Amino acid sequence: MTATELLQSPAVAVTFGDRVLYPLSWVVPVFVIFSTFGAANGSCFTAGRLTYVAGREGHMVKILSYISLKRYTPSPALIFNGILAVFYIIPADINTLINYFSFTQWAFYGLTALALIVMRFTRKELKRPVKCPIPIAVLVMIVSCYLVLAPIIDKPELEYLYCTIFILSGLLLYFPFVHRRFSWTRRVMRPITMHLQLLMEVVPPEKNE
């Protein structure tokens, strides 16, 4: 394939398969499906557990840390992620979804690497069973900055601003419900948690051990 063909092809692997593997070119999209299914399956497991741990540590509402009585799975966290996924696919534009998901993902990767570097110097007393070398964290932060800023510089769009505002809007829930934990938030969340617990048949993890 020439450079022009690579740039013009909507799916380079499929075009390459048509050229090289014909009549077995159908193998390429089949394996792409397998890869996509495997990645989606892994994401469902990891994303659900991340939400579950966030609820258990008090960074999200407590109901997300509950687990099913019958299946011993974090069903509220999995359902929550499923609801978010439905909202994400409503626009039905996969390219936009990939762009903004990548923007958000790499922004948090960079912030995580930055936090690791800062805590390495400010919290030296912490026990670290797994210790990441500082040069790797710096490299991750630099790559993250590039992958976040490059799309904005190449093609500035207001949607990136909306995405940033959407992320920061989480502070509106984090501050009263998690950071300060005002008494009125407990009165509001207690009946909601109780009804959801009865509806989904879930309990706190410590009561299911």
CA angle 158, 164, 168 (to 5 degrees): 145
- pLDDT at residue number 140: 92
Residue 85 resides in a domain: no
| 72 inside domain | no
The domain of 186 spans 93-207
In a domain, 59, yes or no: no
C-alpha span between 26 and 24 (Å, rounded): 5
**Mean pLDDT, 10 residues at a time, the chain of 209 residues:** 75 78 78 86 83 84 85 86 80 73 86 91 86 90 90 80 82 76 74 85 72
In a domain, 52, yes or no: no
Domain total in the chain:
1
pLDDT of residue 115: 92
Residues 72, 202 contacting (CB under 8 angstroms): no
Domain assignment present for residue 200? The answer is: yes
pLDDT at position 138: 93
The amino acid sitting at 156 is P
Asked if residue 168 belongs to a domain, the reply is yes
pTM of the predicted structure, to 2 decimals: 0.66
Label residue 136 exposed, middle or buried (CB < 10 Å: 0-12, 13-18, 19+): exposed
**What's the pLDDT at 144?**
92
